[in-house]
Every structure is written in C-alpha cells, then in structure tokens.
Structure 1
Amino acid sequence: MSRLHDVVTLTIEMGSMNAVFDGIQTHADTEHATLLGCWYSDIGALNKVMVLRRYDSEAALITERQQLLLGGNPFGCGKHVTDIQIDTYALFPFLPAIAPGKRGNVYEMRVYGIKQGCLQKVIDAWQQALPEREARSPLLGAMYALDGQVSRFLNIWPYESLNERSRLRALAVSDGVWPPKGGPALLTTLESSIYLPAPFSPLC
C-alpha cells in the first residue's frame, strides 16, 4: 500500500463548520484519494479543519492536487474557506499503514522542524524508542514532509481525553522512554495543536 498522504488544512469562516463538513464528507473521498480523517481545531489556532488522505501513487496525488487547486472550490465549500494549506507527507518506513477506526476523542497534531540533514537520524531514533512509548499509548502515524521550505515531520497521537493525554505523556517521560534518546537535539521547532474528529471522520 502506498505511504503517500496529504494533509489539507482549511481556515474557515466563523459559523461555517457544518457547511464545510458537508462539503468534505461529499468530496474528499475520490477516485484518486482515500479519506482517512477529518478533524477540527479545539486548542491552538481555531477555525481550522484538517483533512488527511492517502494516495495509491504519486500520479494520483498530483492529479488530485491539481484538481483541488485549479477548481477553486476545495471540497465544494470554497466560499467558506479563507486560507488553505496543503502538505505532502510520507509515512515513516517502519510504521504500519494508517487505517480507519475508533482511536480516541482527542487528537494531538505535533509538527517538528528538523535540522538540515537529520531526517534519517530522526526516523532511526523514533524506530528505536517507539515500541516502549506505544506500550503506554498508541501513535496514529508519523510522516515526514516531501514539500515546503522547512524539513519537518508530523506525528498524530489519539487520546481518550485531555487528562489522559497529560497523564500518559508524563508517564512516558518519567519512565525515561520518551522523548527518543538524542531526538530533541535533531529538532529546531515544535508546534502542537489539539483537534477533535468530525462526526463523519473515518478516524474517530
């Protein structure tokens, strides 16, 4: 199965969430793209909707990207969109494919900037440390960016609640299993946002 994904982040008008959800539910799953998840921001920058999709090939991804941009009406809800950001990602090679299912009520989206030339070191550090970390709470996926000006990767963590997130993260740190050994020295920036799944999201 292809490990190519894109993340489309829409900034939307206030009060337009339901109309945007209707558009995404209707248009996000196509012959080129498989909808995996749709979430809306709850902590961090608000009025954001994130769409995660998987592609069977690079050609399919490019075709869908062109249609999304040239059509001028992303997901049929363009009139409610004030900004759009599209990022292309590849799943870390040692991770299993992301599959739909019930994972949690709260999703933490973390984006790390990576020092120049250190991507493979980051992947190696995560591969070594992740089994112990996932014994405490599962990772949905970690993906490195294939475009943009900054080397970076996205990791998505589902939790049952914000309290559970705080407890499990603190446990992993106190047990000495997280962050990965040497990992922080490879990074430049960190952004973290909390998203909640849309009612129709395949990942919920």
Structure 2
Amino acid sequence: MLRYNLTYITVPPTGMQQALAGIEQWLKSSPLKGVFLACWVAEIGELSRILLVHGYDVIADIPADREAILYSDNPLGIGSLIVSMETDAYTPLKGLPDILPGAAGPIFEVRTYKLKPGGLTPTLDAWTNAVGPRSAYSQLLSFMYAVGGEIPRIVHIWPYKSLDERLAIRAKTVAEKVWPPVGAPPHLASMRSEIFVPASFSPVN
C-alpha cells in the first residue's frame, strides 16, 4: 500500500506556464525517492496553485524527500516563482487500490475536510462502509488522512470526465441515499472543494 505526499505550490498569476515548465524539467532530473504520480493545476477554487502527488512504498523516504526540497537552493526548479508551498504526508484508507498512472479525468475534484477532535476513527469506519456502493457511480481515485500538519484532516479525490458529469453523479448519489457516508457528517469541522486539471506531463491525467 502506497503512502502519499501532497505538495501545494502557489505561484504568481502570470507565472503558471513558466512554473510548469520548470517543474517538468526538475522532475526529469529529480533525485526524489517517491514515485511522481500527478501534477495538477487549480481551475476552480484558490487559483495559481499547483498540486504535486508522489507515492511511497517506504514511509521513511517521505521526510527524506521533503528535506531535499527544503534544503535546495532552487526548490522544484522554480524557487524564484514560489509564493508559498505546503506539503503533508497521508495514509490511504485500507483496502483502496494505489493511485496508478493513467487517464482518469481530466477533471479532478480534491475535497479537503477538517474533522473535529476524535473524529478520524468514526469517519474511517463510515467511509469503509460507503466507498463500495459510491464507487458504483464513479471512481474514487483516493481517500487519505493526514499524518502531519493540521489534524485530523482527510482528503478525497474524485476524477470526472466533465463538470456536468460531476454534478449529475453527485445529485444522483444524494437522491438515492448512497452519499454522504452514514455517520460521517457529524464529525466534520470544515469542508473545502477544489477543481484541478492535469498538466500535460502529469502521469495521472
């Protein structure tokens, strides 16, 4: 089972194309131990943001890679363009398949929920019961919970063919009482939804 590291980079509004070119070149020569899985660009939500996803078989490799970026004199190959950067490690829900390269989107909804204290275990239980029925309607790319930074916090990623497909599927699952997971909403403290689209070189696209 892979673990994941998610890195959010904010760049100047006029610097996106230059940033993507720099990241692509950096990834080609990057000594990181993690497997590069995705580079997505924010389309709806907080803009001028890039999301990088790396997968890890060895948990100890995550802090090693993060330190390599931290101590670099040109982080991600775009040091002069970075307005802000945040990175956190995540553990996926047991039983889910690993994120693998391939066509899945091109629309990726990334939902980040902060939970109330003590809310992680009942949320994991609720999702374990609900993921199977919900996945009959559309793919869940991953559900994961943060093991650093602000906790408890979960992230789930849903790929869609279009925004219209997203709206239709979400409406249908709610109407048919498949979603949200029974027992999960009382543990929510806040919710954020962002729409990303893949960069041309993103393995998951």
TM-score (norm 1): 0.95
- Once the two structures are overlaid, the 10-residue window that deviates more, 66-75 or 178-187, is 66-75
User: Which residue number in structure 2 is paired with residue 192 of structure 1?
Assistant: 193
User: Which residue number in structure 2 is paired with residue 8 of structure 1?
Assistant: 7
Distance in 1 (alpha carbons) for counterparts of 2:161 and 2:73: 37
Tell me by how many angstroms 1:149 deviates: 2.9
User: Which residue number in structure 1 is paired with residue 61 of structure 2?
Assistant: 60
TM-score (norm 2): 0.95
Distance in 1 (alpha carbons) for counterparts of 2:95 and 2:123: 12
Contact 2:122 2:183 in 1 (8 A): no
Alignment of 1:155-194 (within 5 A): 155-194=156-195
Tell me by how many angstroms 1:31 deviates: 4.3
User: Which residue number in structure 1 is paired with residue 127 of structure 2?
Assistant: 126
User: Which residue number in structure 2 is paired with residue 24 of structure 1?
Assistant: 23
Could you tell me which runs of 5 or more consecutive residues in structure 1 were left unpaired when the two chains were aligned: none
- Once the two structures are overlaid, the 10-residue window that deviates more, 189-198 or 23-32, is 23-32
Contact 2:4 2:89 in 1 (8 A): yes
Tell me by how many angstroms 1:78 deviates: 1.1
Provide the identity percentage: 36
| 1:76 lines up with 2:77 in the alignment | yes
- Runs ≥4 residues deviating over 6 A: none
| 1:41 lines up with 2:42 in the alignment | yes
Could you tell me which runs of 5 or more consecutive residues in structure 2 were left unpaired when the two chains were aligned: none
Contact 2:9 2:85 in 1 (8 A): yes
Distance in 2 (alpha carbons) for counterparts of 1:84 and 1:72: 15
Distance in 1 (alpha carbons) for counterparts of 2:97 and 2:57: 15
RMSD between superposed Cα atoms in Å:
1.3
Secondary structure of the structure 2 residue equivalent to 1:58:
coil
User: Which residue number in structure 1 is paired with residue 103 of structure 2?
Assistant: 102
Tell me by how many angstroms 1:118 deviates: 2.1
Contact 1:32 1:56 in 2 (8 A): no
